[in-house]
Amino acid sequence: MNERTRASLTGEPTGDPYLDLATQATALFEGERDFIANSANLSSLIFHSLKDVNWCGVYLLRGEELVLGPFQGKVACVRIPVGRGVCGTSAVSQRTVCVPNVNAFPGHIACDSESRSEIVVPLIVADGQFVGVLDIDSPSLGRFGDQDAAGLERIAELLLASSDAPAGA
| Helix, strand, or coil (residue 147) | helix
pLDDT tens for the chain, 169 residues long, are 334 444 444 456 667 899 999 999 999 999 999 999 999 999 999 999 999 999 999 999 999 999 999 999 999 999 999 999 999 999 999 999 999 999 999 888 888 889 999 999 999 998 899 999 999 999 999 999 999 999 999 999 999 999 998 877 6
CB-CB neighbours of 155 under 10 Å: 20
Q: For 31-55, how does the pLDDT look when each residue is reduced to its tens digit (9 = 90+)? A: 999 999 999 999 999 999 999 999 9
Cβ contacts of 5 within 8 Å, gap of 6 or more: none
- As a whole number of Å, the end-to-end CA separation of the chain is 40
Asked if 110 contacts 135 with a C-beta cutoff of 8 angstroms, the reply is no
Candidates 83, 143, 91; CA nearest to 119 is 143
Asked if 81 contacts 48 with a C-beta cutoff of 8 angstroms, the reply is no
Candidates 84, 89, 78, 143; CA nearest to 121 is 89
Query: Alpha-carbon dihedral of residues 122, 128, 131, 134, nearest 10 degrees?
Result: -20
- CA distances to 14, 70, 151, 154 from 4, rounded to whole Å, are 5, 31, 16, 18
Beta strands in the chain (DSSP E): 55-62, 65-73, 79-81, 97-99, 117-124, 130-138
Judged on CB neighbours under 10 Å (0-12, 13-18, 19+), 112 is: middle
| Helix, strand, or coil (residue 62) | strand
